[in-house]
Amino acid sequence: MSCDQRLIVALDVHNMETVQQLVEQLGDSVSYYKVGMELFYSVGSQVITYLRQQNKDIFLDLKLHDIPNTVGQGLATLTQLGATMLNVHASGGFAMMQAAARAVKNKADEMQVQRPKLIAVTILTSMNADEWSALGYNVDLSQQVIHLSQLAQKAGMDGVVASPQEAAQIQAVCGNEFIIVTPGIRPSGAAIDDQSRIATPARALKNGAHHLVIGRPITAAANPRQAVKDILQEMRERA
Ligand SMILES: O=C(O)c1cc(=O)[nH]c(=O)n1[C@@H]1O[C@H](COP(=O)(O)O)[C@@H](O)[C@H]1O
């Protein structure tokens, strides 16, 4: 089974044994993995070293959100790990995103390595309209996703994380080169879990997503390799 760079499998587990089992089981069918808070807080940078040894691309998803200096310094450190892509929260603001972009570029230049892509999370895919309005913003959720995407682009981000439901609008205003990463992907019939703004893999790709982040529909499946195979099939047939 050949892999597809558009699929990023979220390794939301908390020990190296499970990581190794999954990566071995998925073999050549997956070339891109996401390491998030659960795994990174549990095992630290050894997972990055391991995935690099396996020649995998890595999205290190730690969603930094703090004052510009703190985020910049944190990202400079993370840049040294050699991940393919890093992220921050767009709601940290324009100056924070600028500081983030600058810090990653400076560190990569200093180390003479390829600069990791840096993307901004717009509004979490778990959030629905009711939860959004409870936060007190007087703007439509999807409008805010578009606004944050434009702000992120202006601040020098390479792309955004958004739901597949907003991908088409983001592409329309930010262009084809701007990377759109969509979690909230559920193959038809799969459990929705804590996600809200979801779509199938095929729909997400049609809407313009460059990468699909998929976790539990693969990692919690009885047969993760078969789950990947089915998802890849769906991506190819209907994309
Ligand atoms: O930045 C992310 O990756 C992310 C942003 C977002 O808005 N929603 C979201 O679900 N994610 C991540 O994407 C993954 C989705 O996992 P599943 O819901 O299991 O497919 C999780 O690791 C989340 O941390």
Query: What proportion of the chain, given as a percentage, has pLDDT over 90?
Result: 96
Distance (Å) from CA 216 to ligand 1 centroid: 10
Instruction: Provide the pLDDT for residue 24.
Output: 98
Task: Tell which atom from ligand 1 comes closest to the C-alpha of 123.
Answer: 7
Ligand 1 pocket test, candidate residues 39, 165, 213, most atoms within 8 A of CB = 213
Domain boundaries, the chain: 7-238
CATH topology of domain 7-238: TIM Barrel (3.20.20)
pLDDT (average), residues 1-22: 94
Rounded-to-integer distance, Cα 131 and Cα 11, Å: 27
Q: Does the annotation place 150 within a ligand binding site?
A: no
- Told to judge if 229 belongs to the known catalytic residues of this protein, a careful annotator would answer no
| C-alpha to C-alpha distance for 93 and 133, rounded to whole angstroms | 20
Supply the pLDDT for residue 1. Answer: 61
Residue 121: strand, helix, or coil: strand
CA of 125, closest atom in ligand 1: 7
Those residues whose C-beta lies under 8 Å from the C-beta of residue 149, and which sit 6 or more positions away, are: 90, 120, 122, 160, 162, 166, 170, 173, 174, 178
Q: What is the pTM of this model?
A: 0.97
**In this model, does residue 239 exceed pLDDT 70?**
no
65 half-sphere exposure, CB direction, 13 A CA radius: 11
Residue 29 DSSP class: G
Closest ligand 1 atom to residue 10 Cα is: 22
- For ligand 1, the distance from its centroid to the CA atom of residue 104, given in whole angstroms, is 23
- Has 140 been labeled as part of a binding site? no
The per-residue pLDDT for 3 is: 83
Instruction: Kindly tell me if the per-residue pLDDT of 31 is higher than 90.
Output: yes
pLDDT band at 105 (very low <50, low <70, confident <90, very high): very high
β-partners of residue 64 are: 88
- Annotated catalytic residue within 56, 63, 107, 229: 63
Q: By the 8 A CB rule, do 13 and 219 touch? A: yes
What is the Å distance from ligand 1's center to 89 Cα?
13
